[in-house]
Amino acid sequence: MLQKKKTNAAVAKSAADVVLENLQWLRTEEQFSLFWERVTCTAEAVGVQEPKLPRRRQPSRRIDCGSAATADQEPVDYFRRIYFEFIDCAIGCITARFNQRGFDVYMKAERLVLDAFNGHFTESTLPIEYEEVAQHFAGDIDRGKLKIQMQLLSTSPSIVDTSILNMQQVSDKVSDMGAAREIFTEVSKLIRLCLTIPVSSATAERSFSALRRLKTFTRSTMNTSRLTHLALLHVHQHRTDKLDLNDICKTFMSRNERRVRMFHK
Lowest mean pLDDT among 29-33, 65-69, 92-96, 173-177: 65-69
Chain centre to alpha carbon of residue 255:
41
pLDDT at 84 over 90: yes
Beta-carbon count within 10 A of 216 CB = 10
From CA 230, how far away is CA 241, in angstroms rounded? 14
pLDDT at 143 over 90: no
pLDDT, tens digit, for every residue of 104-124?
888 888 888 888 888 887 766
Ordered by start, the domain boundaries in the chain are 1-51+74-99, 101-195, 225-265
Per-residue pLDDT band for 65 (boundaries 50, 70, 90) equals low
Indicate whether this model's pTM tops 0.85.
no
Please name the amino acid found at residue 117. Answer: F
Per-residue pLDDT band for 25 (boundaries 50, 70, 90) equals very high
pLDDT, tens digit, for every residue of 5-17?
667 777 888 888 8
pLDDT at site 163: 83
> Do 211 and 194 meet the contact criterion of CB atoms below 8 Å apart?
no
Q: What are the CA-CA distances from residue 35 to residues 32, 50, 91 (Å)?
A: 5, 14, 19
Beta-carbon count within 10 A of 138 CB = 10
Mean pLDDT of 244-254: 86
The burial of 133, by beta-carbon neighbours within 10 Å (0-12 exposed, 13-18 middle, 19 or more buried), is given as buried
Please name the amino acid found at residue 195. Answer: L
From CA 112, how far away is CA 133, in angstroms rounded? 9
